[in-house]
Amino acid sequence: MAFLRVLLATGVWGTALLAQLQPRQDRFDLQPTVAALRTHVAATGDADRTVAGSAWLMQAFLATGSTMRSGPSRSELRLLAVWLRVVQAKDGRFAPGDVPCSRGDQVLAAMAVCELSTLSNYALLKPTWVRAADAAAATFEAPDATPVDTYEAALLALLANSVEWVGERDLAKRLRHLAQPVADAHSVGPTRREDAARQLVRQLLGATAPADLIAALVWPPDLGADPLHAFLAVHALTPHRAQLARHLEPLNRLAARRAAAAGDGALWPAATGLDAVTTSAVLTLVLSQAEAQLAHRDDDPPKPK
């Protein structure tokens, strides 16, 4: 079976991996946004960076075709990678200012560095993401840890796929075990984002469901209102190209929303709980993933780089 079909059929994909493996089409005109994100990274001092913001920016740059070795965002990727390495504590936690980040942000950043290392063929970063992923798992395994929530479980399952793809099977098994309670829960709500996260976890851990049911469960009423919900929804529909194609119009509307934003129209307006830069990084990743799947053709699969 062709490489990309394996990724799509089994769910073994990373947040930026699928987009990197596809030819660039830029149907959503993302390059002005990527350029604005690069400007932000270059202009931001280390004291003003955050773990989550850096991780989303890394994923956006990777998904739009750059690595640490090539592409227009390579310098920014190196800058963000160096910052994360500097703020990583001895126990593997990312702790800017000696304050450990949240559990979800730790998982997100571990995944971003893992995919950056893999796609850049940059082995020197492997100790960073292995320690980060191990530390992420340890925060959930601690005796006094609170139960994993649906969003954290989705990130854990995605990280499991990323690390398994580069051969860390024991670590992947450990991460999936932590996400399993959410997959086993027979519940819905209380929010549509939680429904999307729960469905994505179930898929990533091997459950199947009709594509139309998945779309009904995961697709948000407004893609731009909650970028994290949009991220989960597009991931859940990644193996179901026909369903994703049926949602092309809301994806086009999301892309067009930048023009109505303040400034030069390159960035999306800030969504609830996120600033405009992080909102734009997440939505750039969302549209890049959607574009990659919409561009996929079974008879012409790309080769891994």
CATH number at residue 25: 1.50.10
Tell me whether residue 300 is in a domain: no
Burial of 4 (0-12, 13-18, 19+ CB in 10 A): buried
CA 68 to chain centre: 18
Residue range of the domain that includes 133: 3-295
List C-alpha distances in Å: 20 to 76, 95, 152, 153, 268.
17, 29, 24, 24, 23
> Which pLDDT value is given to residue 25?
63
- Dihedral class, residue 275 (left if φ above 0, else alpha if ψ from -120 to 50, else beta): beta
Tokens standing for residue 185: 């829960």
Cβ atoms of 293 and 244 within 8 Å: the answer is yes
Per-residue pLDDT of the chain (305 residues; tens, 9 = 90+): 223 333 444 444 455 555 555 555 678 999 999 999 999 999 999 999 999 999 999 999 999 999 999 999 999 999 999 999 999 999 999 999 999 999 999 999 999 999 999 999 999 999 999 999 999 999 999 999 999 999 999 999 999 999 999 999 999 999 999 999 999 988 888 899 999 999 999 999 999 999 999 999 999 999 999 999 999 999 999 889 999 999 999 999 999 998 766 566 799 999 989 999 999 999 999 999 999 888 865 444 444 33
Instruction: Decide if 301 is inside a domain.
Output: no
Q: Quick check: is 302 in a domain?
A: no
Report yes or no on 122 lying in a domain: yes
Residue 303 lies in a domain: no
280 within a domain of the structure (yes/no): yes
Please state the domain count of the chain.
1
Domain presence at residue 304: no
What phi, psi does 85 have (nearest 5°)?
Answer: -65, -40
What the block records as the tokens of 155 is: 């990130």
Residue from 205, 231, 243 nearest 289 by CA: 231
